[in-house]
Each structure stands twice: as C-alpha cells, then as structure tokens.
Structure 1
Amino acid sequence: MVTARQTRLRTRALALCGAVGLPLALTGCGGSSDDTKPPTTPPAASSAAPAASASPADPDAAVKAAVLASYSSMWVEQMKAYRVASPDGTKLDDYATLDALSAFERDLAHMKKNNTVIRGELGHEPEVTELDIDVKLPTATVEDCIDLSKWQTLDTKTGKPIPLPTAQPLRYVATATVERWDEGRWMVTAYKPDGSRSC
C-alpha cells in the first residue's frame, strides 16, 4: 500500500440545494448571471487531465494515472449533469457508482426541485494519496483541492446567481474512493467533500 497522505473527510453543509458532490452549498462564485443556457460543451475543469502524483520511477505511475483519468472523467460528466440539473445525456454512471452516484443523483433531484443549475468552472488539484493493488478489489484514495473561485449557482427562475454563504471556503479538500472492478475500469464509489479543511 502506498500512502502519501491520509484524510477522512466529511461534509453536508449544503444551504440551498443540498448537494453532496457539489461545493458545500451549491451556491457559487464567478461566471455571469445572464448565462441561463447551458453551453454546448461544458468548460473543462482546471485540472481535467491531471498528471499522476508519482515520479517517473514510480512503479505505480500508470495505475495512478488510470485512477486520476477516471476521477477526472467523472467530474466532466458530473458538471454536464449539474449544468442542466439532470443526468440525462451524460455518462456519469460510467465513472461513478454506489454511494458516489447515489449522492450525485440526490444532488440533481434537489437542484431540479429548487430550480438551480451550475455555471462557471470548478478547479481541481487531485492526487492519489493511497493505492492498494495487491488485493482482490484494488482500491485507491484520491485527495482533491476543490477551487470555487470560478463557480456559480444560478436560480433559473430569476436568472440571478445565488451567493455563497459567508462561511463557505473558496478552497477545500475532498476525498474519493476509487475501485478497480472486474472489467478493469476504475470506478468512483465514494466522494466526500470537507469544508472544514482548506487547501
């Protein structure tokens, strides 16, 4: 097992939309309040294709790169869904499952009920902090620094942005559990943001 850092993180301080996968309150910053239509293609996250957190000599570099590729792909699909408050037309379930997917689906249902969508970009700085591949179910832990500086939640009825709560950090830590399933795909099975940990 390779351990760079271990953090066990939790959060659910979601004010208006109750989203677990989203920044803690689904109320964002950045973007334009007149941006009421989803873009044809979502803006890429600032670290959509992160480099593996390993040196060239790291024997697990390729595995870490595969873990981060799946994690980043999940975020791309998640942002597509959050821009329209619906998973329809996305491949979110190709990358997220179990607790992570259930939480994202609850987020989307809450967003739809509250007439909110997401605009702007969400910054990421993910790295693999734990890797256990010599077991029946290979598992990795990804730690990510979430950046809300270009993030915004939009009220679709008014077309106006919803401000972040004053206590909401603009940068905070989140962790994801990623498992390699029988078909060889790495799947995000749990995602836990923690607004009490800044980064």
Structure 2
Amino acid sequence: MLASYTAMWTEQMKAYRKADAKGTDLERYVTAEALGQFRNDLDRMKAAGTVVRGELGHAGTEVTGLDMEAQTPTATVRDCMDISKWQTYSTKKDQVLPMPSNQPRRYVATAEAQKWEDGWIITTFTPDGAQPC
C-alpha cells in the first residue's frame, strides 16, 4: 500500500515540476476524483506561471487504517508532508517566490486508498495545513 502512495508522489512531483501531468504515470496510482484534485492544482500553477522545485519530504508515513474484509479492501495513510525544501518558482518572473509566512513547512496529510485488481490506488488525498507535525 505504501509503495503505491510513494509512487503517486513520485509521479505528482514530476507533474508539479512542469505544471502538467502529461508524460507522468499519475493516472496509474489515483482515481479520477483524486486526479481531479491534482489537476486543479496543476491548472492553478499553469495559470500563475509557476512550477515546483526542490523536494517534498515525508516523515512518519504510516497506514493508520486497513480493512481487508471489505468488498473492496480499503486503507488510510497518514503522512507528515515536509515542504521546507520545496520552492515555488515563477517561470514568468524567472525567480523563486517566497512562501507565505503563515504557511507551515510540515503538516499532516491523509490519503484513502482501495485495493483494485491491479493493486492499491489512491482515492482521496487531503492535506491539512492547519495541523502541523
């Protein structure tokens, strides 16, 4: 399960680095609902002329819920997202944009997943910037 979550983030970072999901395997790891969330982010980035540089860190990523008895097995993942080495870069201004001063650098995110025939797939992803970790 965690391997699918990690692969999702690998593909998501590829997309964030160019503000476009084309050429990534993101669709392999997320449902249409979760993909829609990420595409909204990418559309906002593209409109603003921004991309992401640097790395997204993860700490204490763990499966906090698992139901293998359900008709479609489900899992919940809790992650501590670390954006301290993540930069928003303006392609229009050719410069790194400062992070908002109230933006926590480490915060909790939760993902829900289902076990499908081809493996685990992320159905929702919910960052909680108000919950530092």
Q: How many residues align?
A: 132
Q: Matched residues in 1 for 2:2 and 2:66: separation?
A: 12
Correspondence for 1:176 among 91, 111, 128: 111
Q: Pick the structure with more helix per residue.
A: 2
Correspondence for 2:17 among 70, 83, 87: 83
Alpha-carbon distance, 1:84 to partner: 0.5
1:93 matched to 2:27: yes
Q: Matched residues in 1 for 2:32 and 2:125: separation?
A: 10
Higher relative contact order (CA 8 A, sep 6+): 1
- What are the equivalent positions in structure 2 for 1:144-159 lying under 5 Å apart? 144-159=79-94
Q: Pick the structure with more strand per residue.
A: 2
SS, match of residue 196 in structure 1: strand
Q: Which amino acid aligns with 1:78?
A: Q
1:69 matched to 2:3: yes
- Structure 2, unmatched stretches of 5+, are none
Q: Percent identity?
A: 55
Alpha-carbon distance, 1:98 to partner: 2.9
Structure with bigger gyration radius = 1
CA offset digits 1:44-90 (Å, max 9, x no partner): xxxxxxxxxxxxxxxxxxxxxxx100000000000000101111110
With the length of structure 1 as denominator, give the TM-score of the two structures: 0.65
1:116 matched to 2:50: yes
What is the RMSD of the two structures over their aligned residues, measured on CA atoms?
A: 0.8
Paired residues of 1:98 and 1:190 also in contact (CA < 8 A): no
SS, match of residue 189 in structure 1: strand
Q: Matched residues in 1 for 2:13 and 2:118: separation?
A: 25
SS, match of residue 57 in structure 2: coil
- What are the equivalent positions in structure 2 for 1:35-46 lying under 5 Å apart? none
- In the other structure, the counterpart of 2:75 is 140
Alpha-carbon distance, 1:97 to partner: 1.2
SS, match of residue 117 in structure 1: strand
Q: Matched residues in 2 for 1:75 and 1:190: separation?
A: 13
